[in-house]
Amino acid sequence: AQSVTQLGSHVSVSEGALVLLRCNYSSSVPPYLFWYVQYPNQGLQLLLKYTSAATLVKGINGFEAEFKKSETSFHLTKPSAHMSDAAEYFCAVSEYGATNKLIFGTGTLLAVQP
């Protein structure tokens, strides 16, 4: 069965600092991987996705993630944090099959300090 583990339920960074949110997955087949973001009082927004093309995936708002098969990881990074990046971030893997449902991690709440 596929699963996702997000390390760190809360991460705090200073404005301008590197953002690193960790995600490890478990899958017996090549996975599709996603990062979603939820800003306060909003829905889930797709940041980026990996679908077996380039291993370094660029997303919106300056975020990117690198798929590393040997480490079963898909960590999310941004070189310089902005106050507007404060939100909850979810890593997810798409389960193969007729449903193509998403299996989510528990989420990481990112705080950005001035």
Partner 1 sequence: EAGVTQFPSHSVIEKGQTVTLRCDPISGHDNLYWYRRVMGKEIKFLLHFVKESKQDESGMPNNRFLAERTGGTYSTLKVQPAELEDSGVYFCASSQVFGGSGYTFGSGTRLTVV
Q: Residues 45 to 84: which contact partner 1 by CB under 8 A?
A: 45-46, 49, 51-52
Select from 11, 18, 27 the least CA-distant residue to 77: 18
Taking CB under 8 A as the criterion, the residue among 41, 56, 70, 114 binding partner 1 is: 41
Contact between 25 and partner 1 per CB under 8 A: no
In angstroms, the CA 91 to CA 6 distance is: 7
* Vertex 10: Cα angle to 32 and 84 (nearest 5): 80
# residues contacting partner 1 (CB under 8 A): 26
Q: Which is nearer to partner 1, 68 or 101 (CB)?
A: 101
Stretch that binds partner 1, among 16-24, 29-37, 68-76, 79-87 (CB under 8 A): 29-37
In angstroms, the CA 44 to CA 95 distance is: 18
Positions touching partner 1 (CB under 8 A) are 32, 34, 36, 41-46, 49, 51-52, 90, 92, 94, 97-107
